[in-house]
């Protein structure tokens, strides 16, 4: 068994039934299938229920500030392009305070994988509306129903021609782990919008709700016209169905490889930093 499968000493603090368990298992499965050594992987998160994920996987981990996981992930990848960098955080984290970073990391096209735990609510802060809450969703922010339209990250990122855009479902671990594996293998910025039931604060969009709507798409994600159509299938209607799988993909050049090309090598040689020397300077 690959060490990436082994848990850390911390027990997940999520509510029983939380979709984050499925996402955690999917990441571990993907890393094990890719035969990654823990020293080759960094998982970067923000703040939120989902932001706790790096605590529970035996790789390098960095829990940053709410909304600021993408600049961290970008810096880590640019400094040490040999690492596999996975960013993970909630819909509030990535689409509210962190929304501007998503726009720009898409443009930079740094070779990282970003998993957004989309539970359509602020979980950790106990049930406020989030940027992906559906219009009419009753929350602590809007007890009479959210009056505004949600952000829709999939059409937004496909319109930006992000390098790889996917959707996954926390209730289908087999499919999600394959998607994470393909996203890590893809050379370029890969985004996965994971529909993640929050069983405590979003009792509308739970497993039963998704089970009726989610289906695996079989369109050609390298054809922009098909991808655009798929990203814009009927939404928030009685007959809504939710595609999961790779929605769009292209193979444009990445910023981290361009930095290497211009510098003639990796910006930071981690193997030249000796911990003993660093500790000695601090004594
Ligand atoms: C800079 C900053 N702003 C706001 C907060 C408060 N805060 C913590 S978690 C959170 C929202 C969590 O929702 P989401 O990102 O969707 O993650 P979830 O808990 O649903 O997984 C907020 C607003 C914070 N900790 N730091
Ligand atoms: S509040 Fe929701 S997102 Fe947070 S751990 Fe509980 S079920 Fe999961
Ligand atoms: Mg959330």
Distance CA 184, CA 260 (A): 19
Contact 243 CB / ligand 2 (< 6 Å): no
pLDDT tens per residue, range 54-63: 999 999 999 9
Partner residues linked to 60 by β-bridges = 42
Contact 125 CB / ligand 2 (< 6 Å): no
Which residues, 6+ apart, have CB-to-CB distance to 91 below 8 Å?
Answer: 116, 117, 118, 119, 120, 121, 130, 131, 132
What residue has token string 């990441």?
27
Sign of CA dihedral 127, 130, 133, 135: positive
pLDDT tens per residue, range 111-135: 999 999 999 999 999 999 999 999 9
- Confidence class for position 278, pLDDT limits 50, 70, 90: confident
The rounded Å distance from CA 161 to ligand 2 centre is 32
Q: Of all atoms in ligand 1, which is nearest to the CA of residue 67? A: 1
* Topology of the domain covering 3-282: Rossmann fold (3.40.50)
Contact 186, 5 (CB under 8 A): no
Write down the pLDDT at residue 269. 64
Distance CA 140, CA 123 (A): 11
Which residue puts its alpha carbon closest to atom 26 of ligand 1? 66
Question: Over 70: is that where the pLDDT of 270 sits?
Answer: no
pTM, two decimal places: 0.95
Contact 119 CB / ligand 2 (< 6 Å): yes
Contact 49 CB / ligand 2 (< 6 Å): yes
Write down the pLDDT at residue 131. 98
Write down the pLDDT at residue 146. 97
Average pLDDT, the chain: 94
Question: Over 60: is that where the pLDDT of 205 sits?
Answer: yes
Write down the pLDDT at residue 272. 58
Tell me the two tokens of residue 218.
């079989």
Tell me the two tokens of residue 283.
């004594």
The rounded Å distance from CA 97 to ligand 1 centre is 9
Partner residues linked to 45 by β-bridges = 63, 88
Q: How many CA atoms lie within 13 A of 48 on its CB side?
A: 33
Q: What is the 3 state secondary structure string of the chain?
A: CCHHHCCCCCCCCCCCCCCHHHHHHHHHHHHHHCCCCHHHEEEEECCCCHHHHHHHCCCEEEECCCCCHHHHHHHHHHHCCCCEEEEEEEHHHHHHHCHHHHHHHHHHCCCCEEEEEECCCECCCCCECCCCCCCCCCCCCCCCCCCCCCCCHHHHHHHCCCCEEEEEECCCHHHHHHHHHHHHHCCCCEEEEEECCCCCCCCCCCHHHHHHHEEECCCCCCCHHHHHHHHCCCCCCCCCCEEEEEEEECCCCCHHHHHHHHHCCCCCCHHHCCHHHHHHHHC
Question: Over 60: is that where the pLDDT of 4 sits?
Answer: no
Question: Over 80: is that where the pLDDT of 106 sits?
Answer: yes
Distance CA 196, CA 119 (A): 5
Q: Which ligand is nearest to the CA of 96?
A: 1
């Amino acid at each position: 068994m690959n060490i990436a499968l082994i848990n850390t000493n911390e027990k997940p603090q999520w509510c029983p039934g939380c979709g984050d368990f499925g996402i955690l298992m999917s990441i571990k499965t993907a890393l094990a299938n890719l035969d990654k050594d823990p020293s080759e992987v960094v998982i970067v998160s923000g703040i939120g229920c989902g932001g706790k994920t790096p605590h529970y996987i035996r790789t390098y981990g960095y829990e940053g500030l709410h909304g600021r996981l993408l600049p961290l992930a970008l810096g880590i990848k640019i400094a040490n392009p040999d690492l596999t960098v996975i960013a993970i955080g909630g819909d509030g984290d990535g689409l509210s305070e962190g929304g501007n970073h998503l726009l720009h990391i898409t443009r930079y096209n740094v070779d990282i994988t970003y998993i957004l735990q989309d539970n359509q609510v602020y979980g950790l802060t106990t049930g406020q509306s989030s940027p992906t809450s559906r219009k009419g969703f009753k929350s602590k922010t809007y007890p009479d129903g959210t009056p505004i339209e949600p952000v829709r990250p999939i059409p937004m990122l496909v319109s930006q021609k992000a390098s790889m855009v996917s959707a996954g479902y926390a209730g289908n671990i087999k499919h999600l782990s394959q998607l994470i594996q393909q996203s890590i293998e893809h050379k370029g910025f890969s985004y996965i919008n994971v529909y993640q039931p929050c069983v405590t604060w979003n009792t509308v969009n739970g497993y039963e709700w998704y089970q009726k709507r989610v289906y695996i798409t079989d369109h050609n994600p390298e054809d922009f016209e098909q991808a655009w159509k798929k990203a814009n299938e009927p939404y928030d209607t009685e007959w809504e169905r939710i595609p999961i799988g790779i929605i769009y993909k292209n193979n444009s050049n990445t910023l981290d490889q361009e930095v290497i090309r211009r510098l003639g090598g990796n910006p930071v040689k981690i193997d030249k930093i000796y911990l003993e020397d660093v500790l000695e300077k601090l004594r």
